[in-house]
Amino acid sequence: MLAKRLLSAIICVVLFCANIAFAWNVKSFSDDYDIQSALKLLKQIGADEVFENLQENSVKIIFYDLSMINFSYANHYAINSVDNWGDRYILINSKFRHASKEELACLIAHESFHKGKVATMSEETLATQKEGYYWSILKVPGKRYTNSPLTNRLNKLACLFEESTEANNLIEQRIRNSKFYQEQLAVRERKRI
């Protein structure tokens, strides 16, 4: 009798966990078909951490001409932003509208790890590590991806991710040594003060 109850409890827990894992409704995050395809891809590989981050912040994802925010954003890949009403968005640069769903999924994964209003070095490092990690999983062997700045970035990040160790985090070193990130994070730090 006790064994039956224990077995029933275990089955219920397993079914409950399985339902949560498959419960993500990609349409709740975006109306765009290409973005939904990227989200479905993340869902298929069990990237629950990405969906938990998106859900936690009630994020909506859209393509957007980032130069409309600030011309200096014209070449950014994507940003995580909060609008005037406090709604959080991942804005993917409209330049990458025709990127593969694998590439879009990596941008979404990266931006989902930006939870605060201001990025920190550790948050940027984690987000970039996740971007490299997901590209190493999602990149389809033998598929010809366009030779774009995004594809080149993802290939470099995947290599850095795979070659990193706990003692030698190559992605963190790249971010620390990047003039772009030094300026971006310094500006954000000044705004916080």
Residue range 38-46: average pLDDT? 97
Angle at which helix 170-177 crosses helix 179-192, to 10 degrees, equals 70
At 72 the pLDDT is 87
Taken in order 114, 119, 122, 125, the sign of the CA dihedral is: positive
At 21 the pLDDT is 45
pLDDT surpassing 90 at residue 10:
no
Domain ranges of the chain: 25-192
> What tens digit of pLDDT does each residue of 95-152 get?
999 999 999 999 999 999 998 777 788 899 999 999 999 999 999 999 999 999 999 9
Is the pTM higher than 0.75?
Answer: yes
Lowest mean pLDDT among 54-68, 111-125, 179-193: 179-193
Lowest mean pLDDT among 22-26, 68-72, 94-98, 134-138: 22-26
| Cβ-based neighbour number of residue 35 at 10 Å | 24
Pairing of strands 78-82, 60-64: unpaired
At 4 the pLDDT is 59
Question: How big is the CA angle at 158 (ends 157 and 161), to the nearest 5 degrees?
Answer: 85
